[in-house]
Amino acid sequence: MTEQAISNDPIVSELVREDASFAEIVVQFVEGLGERVTVMETAITASDFEGLRVAAHQLKGSGAGYGYPILTEKAALLEVAAKESNGDDCQPLVSEIRQISERVIVGP
């Protein structure tokens, strides 16, 4: 687990840090993040590993694109675990992604 993952500090978009003009599109990503995680939680509860894999894959791609590599890192691990239908690995990763998502902000 990375230091950023275990901290309670807000997680700021690296994209917005580099160029504040991206803030508006990052806001849209942040506003939809809770729903994305809820989809993952619903999938894991239903043992829908394919749905979970797809949701993790999408978050893996968009996390880095919007400046949140920690989300990409965790989503990549979740994608692999879901592909293997490994619920024991998926559940803690989904919980960790939820905790991280609750700390995500657009910028300072």
| In a domain? residue 80 | yes
| In a domain? residue 35 | yes
CATH number, domain containing residue 30:
1.20.120.160
The pLDDT tens digits of the residues spanning 18-44 come to: 999 999 999 999 999 999 999 999 999
- 44 token code pair: 């894991």
| Total count of domains within the chain | 1
What residue numbers bound the domain in which 88 lies? 11-101
| In a domain? residue 2 | no
8 A C-beta contact, residue 106 and residue 30: yes
| In a domain? residue 1 | no
- 13 token code pair: 């978009």
| In a domain? residue 95 | yes
The pLDDT tens digits of the residues spanning 35-80 come to: 999 999 999 999 999 999 999 999 999 999 999 999 999 999 999 9
| In a domain? residue 88 | yes
